[in-house]
Amino acid sequence: MSQAFADALQGAPPGPDTGGPPDGGGAGDQTDQYANSMEALDAAEQALHAFIQLDHDEPDRAMAAQALQVILKLKSGNQKSAQAGDLKSFTRALAGAPGLPGLR
C-alpha cells in the first residue's frame, strides 16, 4: 500500500510519498479520533472518495475502489441491522453509536 493511500485513509492532505510510516503513527492512536465505529466508517468512506479522485495511479485507484466497496458493505449491514432491530443494532445503540437517522 502506498503512503499516499495510507495518508488518504487517515485524512491527511496529499504529500510526497516517503515510503515509511509517519512519526509516532500507530493504529492505536486513531481510537481517540472517533466516538464510534460508524464515524470511523464515514471518515474512511470520505477519505477513499478523495483518494480515488486525487490519485493518478490506476492500480491504486482500483484497490481504493475495492476498499470503498467493503466500507459501503459494512455501512449497509449496519443500516439493515438498525432497520431490523436485531441484537447487533441493540448492542450498538447501548454503546451510543448512531443507527439510521431519526431512529436514535
End-to-end CA distance of the chain: 37
- Cα–Cα dist 33/98, whole Å: 16
Single pTM value for the model:
0.56
8 Å CB contact between 61 and 52: yes
Q: What is the pLDDT of residues 37-96, one digit of tens each?
A: 888 999 999 999 999 999 999 999 999 999 999 999 999 988 887 777 777 666 766 766
Q: How far is CA 23 from the centre of its chain?
A: 21
The contacts of residue 57 (CB under 8 Å, 6+ apart) are 2
Q: What is the pLDDT of residues 22-35, one digit of tens each?
A: 555 455 555 678 88
What is the per-residue pLDDT for 78? Answer: 82
What is the per-residue pLDDT for 34? Answer: 86
